[in-house]
Amino acid sequence: MGSLWLGAFIGFIVTLILGGPLPIIGHLIGGLVAGLIAGGGMGRGASAGFLAGIFGGIIVTILAVIGLIAVGGILGGVLGGLLGGLTGVLIGLAAIILNLFGAIVAAIGGLIGGAITKK
């Protein structure tokens, strides 16, 4: 069995590269790569594919929270930082919700990849 996290990370990189030019196919291929690397059957492959697909939303969430806390803190002090962080969390939540479709497609690709590697 391969590494679940390594498969998810490589699948995310593939999704990042192919997701722009090939929106749905790129997510499917990224999930397939994640499932092939993770190995261990369909469940493990689907988990790696889902993680590969959702990493983009998680990264946007982290960047939005950190960025808006910094901007809010610079412009409005402690209260501005608090409001900026709250706004960042809401923007990040929206990004994760919008990214769920790609994560589901990547999970399907991972399911296929995991099924291929199962002996």
The pLDDT of residue 118 is above 90: no
Q: What is the pTM of this model?
A: 0.80
What is the C-alpha separation between 81 and 11, in angstroms, rounded?
34
Measure the CA–CA gap between 68 and 46, rounded to whole angstroms. Answer: 33
- Higher-confidence residue of 36 and 119: namely 36
Q: Are 46 and 114 in contact (CB under 8 A)?
A: yes
User: What are the residue boundaries of the structural domains of the chain, listed by start?
Assistant: 4-117
Q: Specify the residue for token string 């369909």.
A: 42
Percent of the chain predicted with pLDDT > 90: 47
What does the pLDDT read at residue 119?
A: 67
Residue-wise pLDDT for 17-58, tens only, equals 988 788 889 899 999 999 999 988 899 999 999 999 898 888
Long-range interactions of 70-73: CB distance < 8 A, separation 24+: none
